[in-house]
Amino acid sequence: MTVWWLLLTAFAVSWALTLLLRHYALVKSLMDIPNERSSHSIPTPRGGGVAIVVSFLLALPVLAGLDLISPVAFYSLLGSSLLVALIGFVDDHGHIAARWRLLGHFIAAAWALFWLNGLPSIELFGISTDLGWIGNILALVYLVWMLNLYNFMDGIDGLASAEVISVCLGMCLVYWFSGNTELMWLPLILSAAVAGFLWWNFPPARIFMGDAGSGFLGIVLGVLAIQAAGSSPELFWSWIILFGVFVVDATWTLVQRLVRGDKIYEAHRSHAYQHATDLFKHHVVVTLSVVAINVFFLLPLALLVGRGWLSGSLGVLLAYFPLMILVWKLKAGIPIDKLSSRSL
């Protein structure tokens, strides 16, 4: 019963703190002003993701005190996510050069991997494989990419929040059916904290998340996936499958921009979800469509992998190939000014 009260408290704290942050942003003129790269049309307060950070991090020591999470999970998440959130908070209020942000991100990822003792053995085409130091390097890059891609994908109302909730609740089902219920509490608490913010961020958004929130969510989700691999190698791939929409859109777009020679650190409007928003004219349509893809397409594959009925590697291929076709059809990576609505 105590844990369920903790979920309600995390939601309530996030909800109330988001309201206070919105008022603070309005008073201090911390506004996201629309420009040619924006998907919104009116100035909107930003920085509401701090509410997610505070409510989740306050819940961590409670979960640890109840022995619902291990000290390894506690310290890996606390140190890495707090550092990423602080970097994002400072960047939201001023500016940090891209190279220093990236350095901080790698330090945060290294901290998490230190406590997690590196990347555990993972399943590759049905065989449990220990990649050793190569795996640790790949895990480091993976964590940094996760927190940055989450920042890239936080571009329309409610999308980043809805993604977290649908992915985390989906993984709770995977944990339940695979007999790993002890891993459910962190994604449940994260979902509750994000739901309190989503109340204010659902289209039309009354406040935006900001870099502090999006980067924080990216690193937390990445760490949860690696933590799950330590309990069962298949669970890592279940997380990767459920991340599919964000991973495919962000990675495809980045590769396209690299090939074209664009400055990848500059803001742009060339993601598939941004083109889809222009096509359907409503943020809510795209946000709910992503949730539907997660629930009706990606979750069944994640469940099959988590139960051991489908190879994780094959599950990822089955999940990602249709998504790659979708982002290709939506012209991901092509600047919006080079498209017309008829070309989508």
Q: Is residue 341 pLDDT above 50, yes or no?
A: no
User: In whole angstroms, what is the distance from residue 52 CA to residue 71 CA?
Assistant: 21
Q: Which amino acid is at 292?
A: A
Contact (CB, 8 A) for 193 and 48: no
- pLDDT of 281: 79
**Nearest-CA neighbor of 329 among 251, 267, 270, 272?**
272
More confident residue, 81 or 3: 81
- pLDDT of 37: 56
- The mean pLDDT of 175-204, rounded to a whole number, is 95
- pLDDT of 337: 64
Evaluate the CA torsion angle 39, 294, 292, 190 in order and state its sign: negative
Among the ranges given (141-145, 253-257, 263-267), the one the predictor scored with the smallest mean pLDDT: 263-267
Contact (CB, 8 A) for 316 and 240: yes
User: In whole angstroms, what is the distance from residue 226 CA to residue 281 CA?
Assistant: 37
Name the token pair of 76. 């890996």
3-state class (DSSP) for residue 225: helix
User: In whole angstroms, what is the distance from residue 243 CA to residue 235 CA?
Assistant: 13
Cβ neighbours of residue 20 under 8 Å, at least 6 residues apart?
Answer: none
- The mean pLDDT of 205-209, rounded to a whole number, is 90
| Alpha-helical regions (H) of 29-70 | 49-65
Task: Give the pLDDT band of residue 96 (cuts 50, 70, 90).
Answer: confident
What's the chain's length in residues?
344
User: In whole angstroms, what is the distance from residue 206 CA to residue 186 CA?
Assistant: 27
38-143-247-179 Cα dihedral, nearest 10 degrees: -130
227-254 b/e (C-beta count within 10 Å ≥ 16 → b): bbbbbbbbbbbbbbbbbbbbbbbbbbbb
How high is the mean pLDDT of the chain?
89
Query: Binding site for Mg(2+): residue ranges?
Result: 151, 211
More confident residue, 138 or 264: 138
**Nearest-CA neighbor of 48 among 24, 25, 18, 20?**
18
Question: What is the reported pTM?
Answer: 0.92
- The mean pLDDT of 263-280, rounded to a whole number, is 82
- pLDDT of 38: 53
User: In whole angstroms, what is the distance from residue 100 CA to residue 83 CA?
Assistant: 13
The tens digit of pLDDT for each residue in 101-141 reads 999 999 999 999 999 998 887 777 766 777 788 889 999 99
- pLDDT of 1: 53
The tens digit of pLDDT for each residue in 13-54 reads 999 999 999 998 888 877 776 655 555 557 788 889 999 999
Evaluate the CA torsion angle 256, 259, 262, 264 in order and state its sign: positive
Kindly state the DSSP code that residue 336 receives in the 8-state scheme: G
- The mean pLDDT of 71-97, rounded to a whole number, is 91
- pLDDT of 75: 96
- pLDDT of 135: 87
- pLDDT of 273: 92
Q: If phi over 0 gives left and psi between -120 and 50 gives alpha, with beta otherwise, what is residue 35?
A: beta
Burial of 193 (0-12, 13-18, 19+ CB in 10 A): buried
Contact (CB, 8 A) for 320 and 244: yes
Triad 53, 286, 224: Cα angle to 5°? 35
Q: Is residue 146 pLDDT above 50, yes or no?
A: yes
Task: Give the pLDDT band of residue 174 (cuts 50, 70, 90).
Answer: very high
Query: Binding site: residue ranges?
Result: 151, 211
Name the token pair of 53. 């950070």
- The mean pLDDT of 174-203, rounded to a whole number, is 95
More confident residue, 174 or 334: 174
Q: Is residue 155 pLDDT above 70, yes or no?
A: yes
- pLDDT of 39: 59
Residue 248, CA distances (Å) to 29, 218, 294, 324 in order = 35, 15, 13, 6
Task: Give the pLDDT band of residue 302 (cuts 50, 70, 90).
Answer: very high
The tens digit of pLDDT for each residue in 211-262 reads 899 999 999 999 999 999 988 889 999 999 999 999 999 999 999 988 887 7
User: In whole angstroms, what is the distance from residue 46 CA to residue 21 CA?
Assistant: 8
Task: Give the pLDDT band of residue 342 (cuts 50, 70, 90).
Answer: very low
User: In whole angstroms, what is the distance from residue 105 CA to residue 97 CA?
Assistant: 13
